[in-house]
């Protein structure tokens, strides 16, 4: 017998080898039904794992936060088993529980398509009916390596485990998986689930390694909860920028034009143009100088910068002509280095802040492309700042604060700030330890001094230096990098940049790379999802739609006010189509135009406008000038 002590201090004797499920059942049948797993002396135990010694036990029930994770982690195993039955050559990467469900990274010869998910789901249901117990077993390192010897992914995971780690595997009948555990005991306990989507994912998130297929799913304890979640997902889909971008005529993606090479349609271009003007003004006020450089450069330029050695994977193949070799630039930094070198610089000239709206191309793996969020041709709100060492902190901070302002003006919110550092073990970073240590130390100090909370991410730095990345969460739930400030001691060396110091000697400037509000492509994807396509007035492609009640009686006045709005730099349109009034009003509505103005007798007689704002019910009548004043104020205040 062993003694089990409960959180309230009471204890009871049980047979050695009793499980959480049995203990729960002993207490009450409803507790048994609610039980999902447990903590035994603080360790997470599967529902059916035998307890071998005296222990304090805490039963995890469906209500506990951990329960969702245990269920979804178990569901990942269930899915892997189903996949293995359908695709016997399948090899498995990792399959964790995540915030809203689970995924598993899978390598199969024959690609799994979206249509195949139902087939896999059906197989999962079959395994649920088979009531497979999820059995835990401890293996020695040698045994584990032998068992998984035909699976390179699992072999790598085992090899990377710390020496003293107890290696465990879980079996459900014919299927065995390497796993630390925390399971729901039996496949019969996984009842309400759905497979959702499939996407490409690099092994260990490293783009230089194999791409696996990541299948996402979600599992819940009741049908009702599952349905509720699916509803949220459906709502989210409504916000999907790919759908909204099409409906609102913002952009087009076509395989004939090329994957990840987005075409901006008139509405999209208008928004982009407004944003470009906005960025220009913002940067002007902050002392930036604007330049323009080509999308193409010599391969040599990128050899000097180090991109050729460290970033080639992300570049399109070279172009050769008459003995010259060109590359399509993936970044503009080398060009800006040359701009800096175009003149002699003294310490008094610094900082110099060159800004450019940079069109650049990156070879992103086709599986990684996602609407406008990740593309191959992109235009970045870029800048490179050339500063003295004593100016680094102030300039990084000013750049950071300018980013905060822009994000605020756009009505967006930061999810968190990431400090991306180098991983010494990886070859993709330049190898001057001294420069790395200095740059990373400075960035940490600066964030700490300013009280900016951040998450450090090893291995995510740029090849030339550490980055402060500002992350946002899209309405679709992805966390992506919006803005970035990067500290670079390398490129000034490589391009032999100098300035004459107060001492009359040559000194090296430091470069700060800054991405203000990402690329137009990524920003548009974020904005579309954030606003469900209903842009705030300052960004809306069309701000006002003027609709005469009658084409015969109200056309002149309608045209007069429309012209007036345009004279006041408002993006106003007149709807003179031979359509019914109701149709036109609905059209303005589906196009999500902020202001809809209907012109009838009263308006003509009183020189007023009657407007309805998008999303609001009531109509408001005001003198025309007052309307113009109001909308101008709103535009100046941006998204507030």
Cβ at position 451, least distance to ligand TSB in Å: 23
Q: Judged by CB under 6 A, which of 242, 514, 554, 612 binds ligand TSB?
A: 514
Kind and range of the H or E element at 556?
helix 555-567
Q: Judged by CB under 6 A, which of 154, 194, 242, 362 binds ligand TSB?
A: 362
Cβ atoms < 10 Å from Cβ of 409? 18
Query: Should residue 518 be labelled a site residue for ligand TSB when binding is judged by CB under 6 A?
Result: yes
Per CB under 6 A, which region of 8-16, 124-132, 408-416, 518-526 contacts ligand TSB? 518-526
Query: Which one, 352 or 598, has the nearer CB to ligand TSB?
Result: 352
Kind and range of the H or E element at 15?
none
Cβ at position 541, least distance to Zn ion in Å: 30
Per CB under 5 A, which region of 185-193, 227-235, 333-341, 539-547 contacts Zn ion? 333-341
Q: Is 434 exposed, middle or buried (0-12, 13-18, 19+ CB in 10 A)?
A: exposed
Quote the CA–CA distance of 433 and 437 in Å, as a whole number: 6
Query: Should residue 333 be labelled a site residue for Zn ion when binding is judged by CB under 5 A?
Result: yes
Q: Rg of the chain's alpha carbons, rounded to an integer? A: 30
Alpha helices in 357-464 (DSSP H): 392-409, 433-449
Q: Judged by CB under 6 A, which of 35, 519, 530, 624 binds ligand TSB?
A: 519
Among Zn ion, ligand TSB, none, partner that 46 touches (CB below 5 to 8 angstroms by kind): none
Q: Judged by CB under 6 A, which of 105, 398, 521, 634 binds ligand TSB?
A: 521
Please choose, from the candidates 91, 46, 64, the residue with its C-alpha nearest in 3D space to the C-alpha of residue 211: 91
Cβ at position 121, least distance to Zn ion in Å: 45
Half-sphere exposure of 158 toward its Cβ, with a 13 Å CA cutoff?
24
Cβ at position 86, least distance to ligand TSB in Å: 33
Among Zn ion, ligand TSB, none, partner that 423 touches (CB below 5 to 8 angstroms by kind): none
Per CB under 6 A, which region of 372-380, 446-454, 493-501, 551-559 contacts ligand TSB? 372-380
Tokens at residue 35, please?
């039980």
Among ligand TSB, Zn ion, none, partner that 422 touches (CB below 5 to 8 angstroms by kind): none
Quote the CA–CA distance of 402 and 484 in Å, as a whole number: 11
DSSP state of 359: E
Query: Which one, 121 or 303, has the nearer CB to Zn ion?
Result: 303
Cβ at position 394, least distance to Zn ion in Å: 20
Among Zn ion, ligand TSB, none, partner that 381 touches (CB below 5 to 8 angstroms by kind): none
Residue 456 · residue 423 · CB < 8 Å? no
Give helix 433-449 / helix 392-409 axis angle, nearest 10°. 60
CB contact set of 84 (below 8 Å; sequence gap of 6+): 90, 175
Query: Should residue 241 be labelled a site residue for Zn ion when binding is judged by CB under 5 A?
Result: no
Among Zn ion, ligand TSB, none, partner that 361 touches (CB below 5 to 8 angstroms by kind): none
Report 434-493 residues binding ligand TSB (CB under 6 A).
481-482, 484
Report 249-308 residues binding ligand TSB (CB under 6 A).
none
Residue 200 · residue 87 · CB < 8 Å? no
Per CB under 5 A, which region of 48-56, 224-232, 298-306, 506-514 contacts Zn ion? 506-514
Degrees (nearest 5) of the Cα angle 25, 26, 27? Answer: 90
Half-sphere exposure of 352 toward its Cβ, with a 13 Å CA cutoff?
22
Query: Should residue 359 be labelled a site residue for ligand TSB when binding is judged by CB under 6 A?
Result: no
Among ligand TSB, Zn ion, none, partner that 315 touches (CB below 5 to 8 angstroms by kind): none
Residue 518 · residue 372 · CB < 8 Å? no
Query: Should residue 380 be labelled a site residue for Zn ion when binding is judged by CB under 5 A?
Result: no
Report 303-342 residues binding ligand TSB (CB under 6 A).
331, 333
Cβ at position 485, least distance to Zn ion in Å: 11
CB contact set of 163 (below 8 Å; sequence gap of 6+): none
Query: Should residue 154 be labelled a site residue for Zn ion when binding is judged by CB under 5 A?
Result: no
Q: Judged by CB under 6 A, which of 69, 107, 151, 382 binds ligand TSB?
A: 382
Query: Which one, 421 or 462, has the nearer CB to Zn ion?
Result: 462
Residue 613 · residue 597 · CB < 8 Å? no
Phi-psi region of 453 (alpha: psi -120 to 50; beta: other; left: phi over 0): beta
Cβ at position 331, least distance to Zn ion in Å: 5
Per CB under 5 A, which region of 297-305, 316-324, 474-482, 512-520 contacts Zn ion? 512-520
Residue 483 · residue 512 · CB < 8 Å? no
E strands, 279-401, are 289-290, 296-298, 319-321, 324-328, 352-361, 377-387
Query: Which one, 472 or 598, has the nearer CB to ligand TSB?
Result: 472
Cα end-to-end distance, the chain, whole Å: 67
CB contact set of 200 (below 8 Å; sequence gap of 6+): 211, 212, 213, 214, 365, 366, 367, 368
Residue 206 · residue 105 · CB < 8 Å? no
CB contact set of 183 (below 8 Å; sequence gap of 6+): 37, 46, 47, 48, 70, 73, 74, 77, 134, 136, 170
Q: Judged by CB under 6 A, which of 357, 375, 392, 487 binds ligand TSB?
A: 375
Quote the CA–CA distance of 490 and 431 in Å, as a whole number: 10
Q: Judged by CB under 6 A, which of 54, 64, 100, 364 binds ligand TSB?
A: 364
Tokens at residue 186, please?
């039996």
Per CB under 5 A, which region of 39-47, 98-106, 249-257, 507-515 contacts Zn ion? 507-515
How many residues belong to the site for ligand TSB (CB under 6 A)?
20
Query: Which one, 47 or 279, has the nearer CB to ligand TSB?
Result: 279
Estimate to the nearest angstrom the gap between the alpha carbon of 488 and the chain centroid.
24
Query: Should residue 374 be labelled a site residue for ligand TSB when binding is judged by CB under 6 A?
Result: yes
Query: Should residue 522 be labelled a site residue for ligand TSB when binding is judged by CB under 6 A?
Result: yes
Q: Judged by CB under 6 A, which of 24, 94, 380, 461 binds ligand TSB?
A: 380
Query: Should residue 513 be labelled a site residue for Zn ion when binding is judged by CB under 5 A?
Result: yes
Cβ at position 357, least distance to ligand TSB in Å: 12
Tokens at residue 12, please?
């009871």
Cβ at position 187, least distance to ligand TSB in Å: 40
Among ligand TSB, Zn ion, none, partner that 521 touches (CB below 5 to 8 angstroms by kind): ligand TSB
Kind and range of the H or E element at 362?
none
Query: Which one, 155 or 471, has the nearer CB to ligand TSB?
Result: 471
Query: Which one, 360 or 608, has the nearer CB to ligand TSB?
Result: 360
- HEC profile of 254-293: CCCCCCCCCEECHHHHHHHHHHHHHHHHHHHHCCCEECCC
Among Zn ion, ligand TSB, none, partner that 554 touches (CB below 5 to 8 angstroms by kind): none
Residues that bind ligand TSB (CB under 6 A): 331, 333, 362, 364, 374-375, 378, 380, 382, 384, 481-482, 484, 513-515, 518-519, 521-522
Residues that bind Zn ion (CB under 5 A): 333, 513
């Amino acid at each position: 017998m062993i003694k089990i002590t409960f959180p309230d201090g009471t204890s009871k004797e049980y047979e050695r080898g009793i499980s959480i499920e049995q203990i729960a059942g002993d207490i009450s049948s409803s507790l048994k039904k609610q039980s999902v797993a447990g903590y035994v002396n603080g360790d997470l135990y599967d529902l059916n794992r035998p307890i071998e010694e005296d222990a304090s036990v805490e039963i995890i029930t469906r209500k506990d936060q951990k329960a969702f994770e245990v269920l979804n982690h178990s569901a990942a195993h269930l899915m892997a088993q189903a996949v293995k039955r359908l695709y016997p050559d399948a090899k498995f990467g990792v399959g964790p529980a995540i915030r809203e469900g689970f995924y598993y990274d899978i390598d199969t010869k024959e690609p799994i398509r979206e249509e195949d998910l139902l087939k896999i789901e059906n197989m999962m249901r079959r395994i649920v009916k088979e009531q497979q117990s999820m059995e835990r077993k401890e293996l020695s390192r040698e045994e584990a390596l032998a068992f998984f010897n035909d699976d390179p992914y699992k072999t790598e995971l085992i090899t990377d485990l710390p020496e003293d780690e107890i290696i465990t595997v879980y079996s459900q009948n014919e299927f065995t998986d390497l796993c630390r555990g925390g399971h729901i005991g039996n496949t019969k306990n996984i009842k309400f689930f759905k497979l959702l989507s499939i996407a490409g994912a690099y092994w260990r998130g490293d783009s230089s390694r194999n791409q696996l297929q990541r299948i996402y799913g979600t599992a819940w304890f009741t049908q009702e909860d599952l349905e509720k979640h699916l509803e949220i997902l459906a709502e989210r889909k409504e916000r999907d920028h790919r759908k909204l971008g099409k409906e609102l005529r913002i952009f087009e993606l076509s395989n004939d034009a090329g994957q990840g090479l987005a075409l901006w349609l008139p509405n999209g271009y208008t928004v982009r143009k407004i944003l470009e003007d906005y960025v220009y003004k913002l940067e002007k006020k902050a002392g930036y100088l604007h330049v323009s450089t080509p999308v193409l450069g010599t391969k040599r330029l990128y050899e000097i910068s180090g991109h050729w050695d460290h970033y080639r994977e992300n570049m399109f193949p070279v172009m050769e002509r008459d003995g010259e070799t060109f590359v399509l630039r993936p970044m503009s930094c080398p060009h800006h280095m040359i701009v800096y070198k175009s003149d002699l610089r003294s310490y008094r000239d610094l900082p110099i802040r060159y800004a450019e709206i940079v069109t650049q191309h990156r070879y992103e793996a086709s599986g990684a492309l996602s609407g406008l969020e990740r593309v191959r041709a992109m235009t970045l709100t870029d800048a490179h700042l050339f500063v003295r060492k004593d100016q680094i902190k102030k300039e990084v901070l000013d750049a950071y604060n300018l980013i905060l302002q822009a994000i605020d003006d756009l009505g967006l919110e930061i999810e968190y700030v990431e400090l991306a550092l180098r991983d010494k073990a990886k070859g993709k970073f330049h190898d001057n330890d001294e420069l790395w240590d200095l740059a990373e130390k400075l960035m940490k100090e600066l964030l700490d001094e300013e009280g900016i909370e951040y998450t450090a991410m090893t291995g995510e730095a740029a090849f030339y230096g550490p980055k402060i990345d500002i992350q946002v969460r899209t309405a679709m739930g992805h966390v992506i990098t919006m803005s970035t400030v990067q500290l670079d001691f390398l490129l000034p060396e490589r391009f032999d940049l100098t300035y004459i110091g107060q001492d009359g000697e040559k000194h090296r400037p430091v470069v700060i790379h800054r991405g203000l509000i990402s690329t137009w492509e990524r920003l548009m994807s974020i904005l579309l999802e954030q606003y469900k396509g209903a842009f705030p007035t300052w960004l809306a492609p069309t701000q006002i739609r003027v609709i005469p009640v009658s084409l015969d009686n109200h056309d002149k006045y309608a045209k007069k006010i429309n012209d007036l709005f345009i004279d006041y730099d408002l993006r106003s349109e007149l709807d003179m189509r031979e359509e019914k009034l109701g149709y036109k009003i609905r059209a303005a509505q589906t196009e999500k135009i902020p202001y809809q103005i209907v012109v009838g007798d009263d308006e003509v007689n009183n020189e007023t406008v009657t407007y309805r704002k998008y999303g609001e019910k009531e109509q408001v009548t005001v003198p025309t000038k007052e309307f113009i004043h109001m909308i101008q104020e709103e535009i100046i205040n941006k998204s507030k």
